[in-house]
Structure 1
Amino acid sequence: MTTSLGPMAPGDIRTRAQIRQEFGGSPQGGICPSDEKKSVNLYSDPSIGEHVGYYDGWLAEEDELGPVFEYTGAGLTGDQTFDGPFGMGNRSILRHAEQGRKLRVFIRAGTIKGTATATHRYVGTFNLDQRLPYVWRKVRGENGEVRSVIVFRLRPDGAFKSSAADTIPAAKKTTVEFVQFQPITASMLNSGPATQGALSLPSQRQGAKSSARKRTTNASTEGVFVVSEAFNTEMSLRAATAASIAVRREAALTKSYRAHLEAAGHTVGAFQIRVEGLSSTLRTDLYDATSHVLYEAKGSSSREDVRMAIGQLLDYSRYVKTDAHPHEPRQAILLPAAPDPDIRVLLERHQIGLVHQLSDGQFTGPDFTAPS
């Protein structure tokens, strides 16, 4: 890799002082925003992250939009936050588009020979994933401390350079843990909603790829029960795509139905599932822990969306088990309006419940308010 001091390109190695000269930011810390350079510099050091219970890096599996780089937020001890002085760095990532700044990722490469001066490899420029910008996860640090961390999902925006060493390792055992709800409010973010600017569609396929992108062999399955922060936050995802419109509708629908279940005294959340041997994480839409019902929400009532929801329910349900409910959950699809009669027949055939919203905002469907 080159160490030239011309304009920085993905794969180049620099000291932090050299990075600051081009992209600004502070001389220390992992998340370093710069108003002047319109940049948020994200530094990752695998030797530190692994000791405190997390990995930054590429998911080994790409989705239909391409690669995802996961970056864990600021805070080495205790629960991470978006609130107050300890959440400043995390807020700068979440609001980078609104504030007109690019995310730039740097990974610790080593030191200058004969000195203690650290060097960092430039990976490239990123934006937050507009479909799922971040998730909460529970990790166990070096001292056994169990804490909640914020994992940002980054999409390349232009050229990037990946390395086999940057791929997140596959899960090695099955774990299911409850993650405490972490509400995110506008007041925590100091002004307005979480993001008011567009989370632009990435140009992630422009980068050079390494052999690390190949699929890994199966090793384990890991499921984590979480309560989704997305249900409690208004996030504007203003992109001129049908996909982002569907995301908004689905999020609003899920949030409304979550409020309906909570009004009935139910505990609700979602599951995060790490499939054995894969570094990516599956995530359900809504789980009613009181009645043990798994919901898959869709932003439209089309046949195509219902088919997808059925497949997701069949996939996820085998993992959704708890000590209180050791069997698979009942299944239901949550839609914004009534589907065609033929779709109802299809769902009945597979014993999948149908809940849909009425014109007055109320919901109709099977009564799942009683425990199974």
Structure 2
Amino acid sequence: MTASVEVINPGDVRTRAQIRAVFGGSPQGGICPSTSKHSVNLYSDPDVGEQVGYYDGWLAEEDELGAVFEYTGAGKSGDQTFEGTAGTGNRAILQHAAESRALRVFTRVGKVPGSDTKTHRYLGSFTLDSMEPYVWRRVHGEDGQERNVIVFRLRADGDVQHADQDTIPPAEKTEGEFVPFRVVTAAMFQTDPATSGALPLPKQRVRKRSTSRRPAPNTETSGIFVVPEAFGTQLSVRAATAATVAIRREAELTQAYKAHLDSAGHQTGAYQIKVKGLTSTFRADLYDATAHVLYEAKGSNSREDVRMALGQILDYSRYVKMPEHEGDPQRVILLPAAPTPDMYSLLDRYDVGVVYRSDDGRFVGDAVPNPNH
């Protein structure tokens, strides 16, 4: 007779050795892939995380798709990366679906009585959020130096333990910070080594996105979206592909316009915001520190996206405070094509400008600087 393999359910507490017997992985480290067990085991230690500037856990604020668990990538000092040996664990998380491996999350709870052996509580199986798999975040490390970390956004893939004790603590005060610009989605370019592999589609809804004073058609962005068979979904491939293309278009558009601002000698970055009482960290798409202009980008010029961008930029602009500039920043929505005339009327009412990309690739709008001057 063969011995039966132990089952570990959400909420169970086990040692790393007991976890390895069931789900594989290495005896140490925070991100532990296992090919034989089709698993990437993610270990979170609250005491260690707080020392190096971040928290792992549930966001208290759920979105329309449900709860999000944030897990910070590997690398305790300096900027985190997807590249080379230092980025091995982060790549394993990003590519987990393409490699048919589940993300399993464990949090440290204590030690075995009378020993130094740590124990970990199993939260359950997760998958990366298909729409925004990770975000870049600026944190203050243990050495007091600022650094960029990768914060993965996880969605439950089946039954998980969602305990209050695993919720990220709310911000004690409201504060904003000018931070370096980083692309915030893994769905931009399939050819990028940091974004290769398919992104999973958890069981969630996806809002469809569609398409000037002079209307101009959206430019098409090519790309392949692969739905791994190992991860079930109730979404149609058509809806998922449309949403993913919109995200890629938004990221590419933002990068292109940032390059235009940089060529004009402007200092650009993003703006990171924490609001007192909330656990979420917000990040405005693009901020021009030279001209004091805040941008919110969208992947289409649809009515839905323009209205969403309007709400976001009105919200975020309240928190942008720079010592070298007085008052609130100029607010501008960045689009791949001009919106319809009635959307211009709506934006004018709230003193929000528009920059869009014309058919010939130029950027059009009052806030666009001339790189030759």
TM-score w.r.t. length of structure 1: 0.82
Query: Are residues 1:109 and 2:106 paired?
Result: no
Structure 1 position 174, deviation (Å): 3.5
Q: Which residue of 2 aligns with 1:131?
A: 131
State the AA in 2 paired with 1:304. E
Q: Which residue of 2 aligns with 1:230?
A: none
CA distance in 1, matches of 2:180, 2:362: 28
Structure 1 position 283, deviation (Å): 2.0
**Cα 1:58–1:183 shift into 2, 3 Å:** closer
The within-5 A match list for 1:197-236 is: 197-203=197-203
CA distance in 1, matches of 2:25, 2:119: 16
Is the Cα–Cα contact under 8 Å of residues 335 and 355 in structure 1 kept in the other structure?
A: yes
Structure 1 position 28, deviation (Å): 0.5
Q: Which residue of 1 aligns with 2:171?
A: 171
Q: Which residue of 2 aligns with 1:366?
A: 366
Q: Which residue of 2 aligns with 1:210?
A: none
Structure 1 position 143, deviation (Å): 4.5
Q: Which residue of 1 aligns with 2:311?
A: 311
Q: Which residue of 2 aligns with 1:263?
A: 263
Is the Cα–Cα contact under 8 Å of residues 128 and 153 in structure 1 kept in the other structure?
A: yes
Deviation per CA, 1:124-178: give whole Å up to 9, x if none: 1112222322223232344534333222221212211111111100111234444
Deviation per CA, 1:91-119: give whole Å up to 9, x if none: 22222223332211100122222222211
Structure 1 position 345, deviation (Å): 2.2
State the AA in 1 paired with 2:77. T
Is the Cα–Cα contact under 8 Å of residues 196 and 236 in structure 1 kept in the other structure?
A: no
**Cα 1:332–1:192 shift into 2, 3 Å:** closer
DSSP-derived class of the 1:149 partner: strand
CA distance in 2, matches of 1:308, 1:169: 27
Is the Cα–Cα contact under 8 Å of residues 179 and 270 in structure 2 kept in the other structure?
A: no
DSSP-derived class of the 1:318 partner: helix
**Cα 1:272–1:367 shift into 2, 3 Å:** closer
State the AA in 2 paired with 1:281. T
RMSD: 2.7
- Structure 2: tracts of 5 or more residues without a match: 206-221, 228-236
**Cα 1:347–1:146 shift into 2, 3 Å:** closer
Structure 1 position 351, deviation (Å): 2.2
Is the Cα–Cα contact under 8 Å of residues 54 and 72 in structure 1 kept in the other structure?
A: yes
- Structure 1: tracts of 5 or more residues without a match: 206-233
Query: Are residues 1:7 and 2:7 paired?
Result: yes
State the AA in 2 paired with 1:146. E
Structure 1 position 328, deviation (Å): 0.9
CA distance in 2, matches of 1:100, 1:249: 27
State the AA in 2 paired with 1:35. T
DSSP-derived class of the 1:273 partner: strand
Is the Cα–Cα contact under 8 Å of residues 292 and 330 in structure 1 kept in the other structure?
A: yes
DSSP-derived class of the 1:301 partner: coil
Query: Are residues 1:297 and 2:297 paired?
Result: yes
Is the Cα–Cα contact under 8 Å of residues 30 and 44 in structure 2 kept in the other structure?
A: yes
Q: Which residue of 2 aligns with 1:24?
A: 24
Structure 1 position 13, deviation (Å): 1.6
Deviation per CA, 1:306-352: give whole Å up to 9, x if none: 11211111111111121222421101111222222222222223222
CA distance in 1, matches of 2:367, 2:55: 42
The within-5 A match list for 1:43-122 is: 43-122=43-122
**Cα 1:5–1:112 shift into 2, 3 Å:** farther
State the AA in 1 paired with 2:297. A
CA distance in 1, matches of 2:85, 2:172: 36
Structure 1 position 26, deviation (Å): 0.5
Deviation per CA, 1:272-295: give whole Å up to 9, x if none: 211110001222122112211111
Deviation per CA, 1:4-58: give whole Å up to 9, x if none: 9732221122211111112111100111111222211110111211222221111
**Cα 1:281–1:169 shift into 2, 3 Å:** same
Is the Cα–Cα contact under 8 Å of residues 59 and 67 in structure 1 kept in the other structure?
A: yes
**Cα 1:80–1:252 shift into 2, 3 Å:** closer
State the AA in 2 paired with 1:289. A
Q: Which residue of 1 aligns with 2:158?
A: 158
CA distance in 2, matches of 1:271, 1:88: 28
State the AA in 1 paired with 2:356. H
**Cα 1:144–1:336 shift into 2, 3 Å:** closer
DSSP-derived class of the 2:323 partner: coil
Q: Which residue of 2 aligns with 1:217?
A: none
Deviation per CA, 1:68-105: give whole Å up to 9, x if none: 11111222233323233222212222222233322111
DSSP-derived class of the 1:285 partner: strand
